[in-house]
């Protein structure tokens, strides 16, 4: 059955797992099956919590949604791990902001 793209949106691993999990596996293409397998292996929190955490990080700390999604997908436990996730883009994030991110994350994990 041909599917039509209705909306393009970057989502967390947990949300991708939920979306793809609603489709019968025999209807998934190779790429979707591999994506679902990856999401099952590496999702660390529920889709609802993941979405709320992305929203909190984006709104309360003015993080870019893509950065928030990367944080939620990896759920770093320390400032050093968090800094590694965020400095990939080559920008500086203050220690205060990093601590704020970790504090918000503690509510969800």
What pLDDT score does 48 carry? 95
Distance from C-alpha of 29 to C-alpha of 73, rounded to nearest angstrom: 23
- pLDDT score of 89 more than 80: no
Delineate the domains of the chain, giving CATH numbers in brackets.
13-42 (no CATH), 47-106 (1.10.150)
- pLDDT score of 2 more than 70: no
Least confident among 57-61, 91-95, 102-106: 91-95
Residue-wise pLDDT tens digits, 5-31: 788 889 999 999 999 999 998 999 999
- Six token digits for residue 17: 């797992």
Kindly give, in sequence order, each residue whose CB lies less than 8 Å from that of residue 74, ignoring residues fewer than 6 positions away.
81, 85
Which DSSP letter does residue 28 get?
S
Which residue matches tokens 């970790």? 102
Q: Are 20 and 39 in contact (CB under 8 A)?
A: yes
What pLDDT score does 7 carry? 82
Q: Are 68 and 59 in contact (CB under 8 A)?
A: no
């Amino acid at each position: 059955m041909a599917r039509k793209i209705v909306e393009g949106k970057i989502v967390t691993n947990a949300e991708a797992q939920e979306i793809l999990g609603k489709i019968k596996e025999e209807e998934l293409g190779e790429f979707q099956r591999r994506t679902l397998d990856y999401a099952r292996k590496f999702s660390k929190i529920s889709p609802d919590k993941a979405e709320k955490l992305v929203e909190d990080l984006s709104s309360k700390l003015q993080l870019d949604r893509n950065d928030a999604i990367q944080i939620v997908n990896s759920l770093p436990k320390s400032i050093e791990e968090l800094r590694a996730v965020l400095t990939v883009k080559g920008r500086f994030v203050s220690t205060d902001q990093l601590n704020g991110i970790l504090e918000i994350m503690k509510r969800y994990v």
